[in-house]
Amino acid sequence: MTDNNRPDLFDLTGKVAVVTGGSRGLGREMCQAFATRGAKVVVASRKFDACATLAGEITHTHGTETLAVACHVGNWDDCDELIATTLERFGTIDVLVNNAGMSPLYPSLGAVSEELFDKVIGVNLKGPFRLAALAAEHMQAHEGGSIINVSSTSSIQPNAAEVPYGAAKAGLNALTIALAHMFGPTVRVNGIMPGPFLTDISKAWDLDAFDARAKTTIPLQRGGQATEIVGAALYLASGASSYTTGSILKVDGGSAWAPA
């Protein structure tokens, strides 16, 4: 039975949500989900055409306003431009999702160049720092808001192929907690810690080997589907999480800390 007088805890009507890495994978699903709840959505990623295509699809399907912005979050000038462009268009930012990330392969740690290391830190940690700082200062001066940093289970259980990436995401976890203290009570800052999701990145995996391993190392015995990030994102973006800040929510099928 539905109580028509009960507010929708996940309602985002009139809110402005900015999602980096928003044109595909988990970011794409979050953009779509925010739009279904009434938010105006800013789709940001390095490739403008991909952002514009998704923004057009969202407007056509959900009737909500959208904005496509090309942004390499490892570049502070791009971060500044993303925030400025959003404020110029919509006048406010209510939700920021730092979702853009990268974890390039390397043959050995000694083969990791300074340029590659800096890129990994730049996209996964430096960019989120800059965007969160700018967005939070705006939110704090206005009606508050929510910042969501997308981490990874590699931040707590990195493997040999994810050393710089795991270190950057561990830094993002620390940043999440520190910013929650710094910008409370009006701005909530939380993290989502995804485990293995079957997005574009999984196309490079040996999926037969992954499926076999998942049966013994992941309690839910499978990888996640991109749509399964939506519940956590809507919770943290909306009033449903009004007493939640400085939290990092695992969405990983139980894989982190599971026995090998």
User: What pLDDT, in 10s, does the model give residues 4-59?
Assistant: 566 789 999 999 999 999 999 999 999 999 999 999 999 999 999 999 999 999 99
Which residue would you say has higher pLDDT here, 222 or 77?
A: 77
Class of domain 16-249: alpha beta
Q: What percent of the chain has pLDDT over 90?
A: 78
pLDDT value for 158: 87
Concerning whether 165 is annotated as a catalytic residue, the answer is yes
CA distance 42 to 39: 10
- The answer to whether the peptide bond before residue 185 is cis (omega within 30 degrees of 0) is yes
pLDDT value for 4: 55
pLDDT value for 77: 97
pLDDT above 70: residue 214: yes
Cα dihedral 254, 188, 52, 64, rounded to 10, equals 110
pLDDT value for 3: 55
CA distance 96 to 136: 9
Which residue would you say has higher pLDDT here, 178 or 201?
A: 178
pLDDT value for 203: 62
Chain CA centroid to CA 142, Å: 23
Among the listed residues 106, 165, 235, 243, the single catalytic one is 165
Round the average pLDDT of the chain to a whole number and report it: 92
Sorted by where each begins, the domain ranges of the chain are 16-249
Lookup result for tokens 């595909």: 24
Residues 6+ apart with CB under 8 A from 258: 217, 218, 219
CA distance 234 to 168: 25
pLDDT above 60: residue 160: yes
pLDDT above 50: residue 1: no
pLDDT tens-digit profile of 28-43? 999 999 999 999 999 9
pLDDT tens-digit profile of 70-94? 999 999 999 999 999 999 999 999 9
Residues 6+ apart with CB under 8 A from 75: 122, 127
pLDDT band at 2 (very low <50, low <70, confident <90, very high): very low
Does the reported pTM lie above 0.85? Answer: yes
Helix (H) or strand (E) holding 209: helix 207-217
